[in-house]
């Protein structure tokens, strides 16, 4: 199986790429970090030319499994948001995954098999104050997942979103520190009193691309140590 993972240089994406069986095609912005993979492409998902080049790369390499993991987070009151930031986060978190799916689907349809996994966020399910752009982009990804699951079901292509809560990654830890609370205070608000590990997300991806999960499609799966249930 040919598996393409965006944002594969660190955190969740790296854990996913390292824990799946198949030929991995890694995508990221740092060539130095990507060199650990045999197959890779340097790409800035917010850049239209780079995104189109990645679309061609997907078609050339006949991708069976697409994992849209790359994403960016902005913590800011809405009145401080500038247009450029709004445009940037929507390009990275919502526009690029949908565009890449459009390029992967023709081959999947021809085989009558495919797996598409989008990495969303619990913020797209519940909302997060002062992270409205991030929450909106991830909520859009969840909506797109449901619609695409219906559109592609007859071709044996499944589409699902995994919504991590706080994850023990560089981005997760810096996001915790960017807010009004310390990491320790954030942990106190999580029912299991811990951050999710990247390997847990990778394990969920591994299950969703398996034949055992062929009936799971259009789902928005919260992997958040109980955060979505309440306090």
The DSSP line for 105-153 is: HHHHHHHT-EEEEEE--THHHH--TT-HHHHHHHHHHHHHHHHHHHHHG
Q: According to the model, what pLDDT value does residue 64 have?
A: 98
pLDDT of 173: 66
Specify the pLDDT at position 186: 84
Q: Which two structure tokens, joined as six digits, stand for 69?
A: 């993991």
**Quick one: pLDDT at residue 189?**
85
Question: What tokens were used for 12?
Answer: 């969740």
Q: What is the pLDDT of residue 93?
A: 98
Which residues are CB-contacts of 80 (< 8 A; sequence separation ≥ 6)?
none
CATH 3.20.20.70 is right for the domain spanning 2-166+197-223: no
Contact indicator for 188, 144 with CB cutoff of 8 Å = no
For 107-217, strand residue ranges (E) read 114-119, 157-164
Provide Rg for the chain, Cα atoms. Answer: 17
Mean pLDDT per block of 10 residues along the chain (231 residues) reads 97 96 97 97 98 98 98 93 96 98 98 98 93 96 98 98 90 62 82 93 98 98 90 61
Is residue 11 a contact partner of residue 171, using CB atoms and an 8 Å limit?
A: yes
Reference 113, options 156, 164, 63, 73; nearest CA is 156
CA distances from 82 to 1, 21, 73, 89, 178 (A): 42, 42, 14, 11, 18
Respond yes or no: is residue 99 known to be catalytic.
no
For residue 168, the model assigns a pLDDT of 87
Is the pTM higher than 0.85? The answer reads yes
Question: Which residues partner with 41 through β-bridges?
Answer: 27
Q: Which of 37, 40, 57, 134 is catalytic?
A: 134
For position 39, what pLDDT does the model report?
98
Q: What pLDDT sits at residue 25?
A: 98
Say what the pLDDT of residue 124 is: 95
User: What is residue 231's predicted lDDT score, i.e. its pLDDT?
Assistant: 61
Domain ranges of the chain: 2-166+197-223
Residue-level pLDDT at 172 = 63
* Direct distance between the N- and C-terminal alpha carbons of the chain, in angstroms, rounded to an integer: 41
Beta-strand ranges (E) seen in the chain are 2-6, 23-28, 39-42, 65-68, 114-119, 157-164, 220-223
């Amino acid at each position: 199986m040919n598996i393409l993972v965006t944002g594969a240089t660190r955190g969740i994406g790296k854990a996913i790429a390292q824990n799946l069986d198949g030929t991995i095609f890694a995508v990221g912005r740092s060539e130095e970090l990507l060199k650990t993979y045999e197959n890779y492409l340097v790409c800035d998902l917010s850049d239209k030319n780079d995104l189109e080049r990645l679309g061609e790369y997907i078609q050339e390499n006949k991708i069976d499994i697409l994992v849209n993991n790359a994403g960016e987070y902005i913590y800011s009151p809405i009145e401080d948001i500038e247009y450029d930031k709004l445009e940037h986060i929507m390009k990275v978190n919502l526009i690029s995954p949908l565009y890449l799916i459009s390029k992967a689907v023709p081959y999947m349809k021809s085989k009558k098999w495919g797996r598409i996994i989008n990495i969303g966020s619990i913020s797209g399910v519940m909302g997060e104050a002062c992270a409205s752009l991030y929450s909106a982009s991830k909520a859009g990804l969840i909506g797109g997942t449901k619609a695409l699951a219906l559109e592609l079901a007859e071709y044996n292509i499944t589409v699902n979103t995994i919504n991590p809560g706080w994850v023990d990654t560089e981005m997760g830890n810096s996001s915790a520190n960017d807010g009004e609370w310390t990491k320790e205070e954030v942990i106190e608000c999580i029912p299991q009193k811990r951050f999710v590990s990247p390997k847990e997300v990778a394990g969920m991806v591994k299950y969703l691309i398996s034949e055992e999960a062929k009936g799971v499609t259009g789902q928005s799966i919260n992997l958040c140590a109980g955060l979505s249930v309440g306090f």
